[in-house]
Amino acid sequence: MSVPLTSQQEALAQELAQAIQQAATDDILQMARMLVATDERHLFGNTEFQIRDLALKIAAKAYNAHLAEKKTATMAAASAVRTATTPPPTTAPAPANS
């Protein structure tokens, strides 16, 4: 599914792709080594699950990179309102009439 992006969105996508590639380099290399070291008879089963686990780690890193980018892009300025130093006074509830 390819969605048309604005030029600004495309630039952000390119930056995000770079960040994901950098974060996932070790996982991709581990995946490639595992595939190369495994003969065709053993590609499925345990090896398949290990490859899927690595793919999920890469996906998690993609989300983390995206969320980190969003967090730094949307940091709000500190509030000028003072914070309370002491809690407000409380009053005891009135006794119930029986």
Contact 37, 13 (CB under 8 A): no
What local confidence, expressed as pLDDT, does residue 97 receive?
75
What local confidence, expressed as pLDDT, does residue 68 receive?
87
Instruction: Encode pLDDT of 48-84 as tens digits.
Output: 999 999 999 999 999 999 998 776 554 555 666 666 6
What local confidence, expressed as pLDDT, does residue 96 receive?
73
How much is the pTM?
0.63
Instruction: Encode pLDDT of 3-50 as tens digits.
Output: 898 999 999 999 999 999 999 999 999 999 999 999 999 999 999 999
Domain boundaries, the chain: 24-73
Contact 40, 85 (CB under 8 A): no
